[in-house]
Amino acid sequence: MNARVELSDAGRDGVSGATPPAEGRVLSHVVNGVAILTLDRPHALNALSHRMVRELAEHVERYREDDAIVAVVLHGSGEKGFCAGGDVRALYHAANAGRAEGDDGWRQFFIDEYRLDFALHAFPKPIVALADGITMGGGMGLAQAASLRIATERSKIAMPETRIGFVPDVGATRFLSVMPVELALYVALTGAVLSGADAVRCGLADVCVQSEWLQGFEARLTALPADEVGARLREAFVPPTAPLPPAPIEGVLGGIEKHFAARLTVDEMAASLAATLIANPPPEMRAWLQSALDTLHGYSPTMLHVTREAILRGRRITLADAYRMELGIVSRAIEEGDFREGVRAHLVDKDRSPRWQPGSLAEVRQERIAHFLRSPWPSARHPLADLGALPQTRASRLPS
């Protein structure tokens, strides 16, 4: 399984270097009491603009209070993906302009996005997320809040933020804790792209179906008796038999457990991978080992160290605290870290040669790591201070 993820041209987490002509929008319609929210920015793989985040939040709040709505479906427009993340290029330009003008308005995007994600986690009605095709970064933040997370054979699921000098955010420091710690560290540090079957195996999806099956979900919703839609919601999205295809990640789990153990620092992970490569491993493992090693040597050294610590901390804190921690890390990464250089190298100039500061894992000092993890705000003045515990009424995963 290839550990590396190649950023295409669509947004923050594997998305567009070319600024789309429009910010996109969120379409909404209702089918038999189920609200369908469609991310409509297909030219940018449905990457989230600030406008789309705000529109989603407005829809979610309205449907929370509407007794005629029994469930919500999150859906992506076009054939390529659900949502490839946030609009990185827009954030990059906003951050650069803000630095020159002393304006940190770019931070509001993250505040609003994290509030939206938390609201989805707290939503009292079932949510279905159709993670068909590319589902990365901010798309994962939406999908992981759903009661029923559906992947397909076309799914490409990842949290590839470290490549652009960022940290897996949108709650990832918490939601990746559904996996064994070694697997969570591997996914977060390398940005490994998971198939739909991999996502089910890792606990990041509930079922993997054929993408063609999903094309008829509105007709199946319409056919359900109006008074039974909530109880039979799963029937519209999951076929009676949905055998799980092979999960490629199964073949490298042993390597992940060995080389991404929680007791290892990132430097030690890289050394472990290198030592195994020198020992002449089987051919089927060599490519994976080399890819994982190249990733740890090629991505932002600072953010790899910070990400490891954030993932370990995220397993011990609440979801609300995870969002608060991530906002602090994100703010420092943009203001004084490697984010702007990572975006410049991969999405703006596209020279693929980021000049990280510092340039190697060994040069990153512990105090630097601690600085990124230290909140820029006193607790009472944190922009997300009012995020509380999830309500007990939260809809659980839909039963099989």
**CATH architecture under which domain 25-381 falls:** Alpha-Beta Complex (3.90)
Share of the chain above pLDDT 90, in %: 84
Q: Provide the token pair at 320.
A: 């609300």
20 pLDDT higher than 50? no
Evaluate whether 292 touches 256 at the Cβ level (below 8 Å).
no
What pLDDT does 245 receive?
A: 86
Binned at pLDDT 50, 70 and 90, residue 397 comes out as low
User: What separation in angstroms does the CA of 343 have from each of 188, 274, 372?
Assistant: 18, 28, 19
Q: Which of 161, 206, 326, 338 is catalytic?
A: 161
Lowest mean pLDDT among 3-12, 95-104, 221-230, 341-350: 3-12
How deeply is 34 buried, as exposed, middle or buried, from its count of CB atoms within 10 A (0-12, 13-18, 19+)? buried
Lowest mean pLDDT among 92-101, 206-215, 262-271, 338-347: 92-101
* Distance separating alpha carbons of residues 374 and 71, to the nearest angstrom: 38
Q: What is the average pLDDT score of the chain?
A: 92
What pLDDT does 113 receive?
A: 98
251 part of the active site? no
153 part of the active site? no
Spatial neighbors of 193 by CB under 8 A, at least 6 apart, are 2, 5, 156, 157, 158, 160
Binned at pLDDT 50, 70 and 90, residue 284 comes out as confident
Q: Span 89-118, mean pLDDT?
A: 86
Q: Which of 85, 138, 255, 328 is catalytic?
A: 138
Higher pLDDT, 8 or 243: 243
336 part of the active site? no
* Distance separating alpha carbons of residues 197 and 343, to the nearest angstrom: 30
Higher pLDDT, 15 or 371: 371
Neighbours of 335 (CB within 10 A): 16
What pLDDT does 99 receive?
A: 67
Q: Could you report the per-residue pLDDT of 331-340, keeping only the tens digit for each?
A: 999 999 999 9
Q: Could you report the per-residue pLDDT of 58-71, keeping only the tens digit for each?
A: 999 999 999 999 99
Q: Which of 169, 206, 309, 338 is catalytic?
A: 169
* Distance separating alpha carbons of residues 70 and 67, to the nearest angstrom: 7
295 pLDDT higher than 70? yes
Q: Could you report the per-residue pLDDT of 247-263, keeping only the tens digit for each?
A: 999 999 999 999 999 99
Evaluate whether 31 touches 218 at the Cβ level (below 8 Å).
yes
What pLDDT does 258 receive?
A: 97
Share of the chain above pLDDT 70, in %: 91
Predicted TM-score (pTM) of this structure: 0.92
What pLDDT does 12 receive?
A: 46
Q: Could you report the per-residue pLDDT of 30-42, keeping only the tens digit for each?
A: 999 999 999 999 9
The single-letter DSSP state of residue 48 is B
Domain boundaries, the chain: 25-381
Lowest mean pLDDT among 147-151, 281-285, 352-356, 390-394: 390-394
Show the DSSP H helices in the chain as ranges: 50-65, 88-101, 107-121, 138-143, 172-175, 181-190, 196-202, 211-214, 217-223, 253-259, 266-278, 283-298, 301-314, 319-336, 339-343, 366-373
Query: What type of residue sits at position 7?
Result: L
351 part of the active site? no
Binned at pLDDT 50, 70 and 90, residue 14 comes out as very low
Q: Are strands 25-31 and 34-40 parallel, antiparallel or unpaired?
A: antiparallel
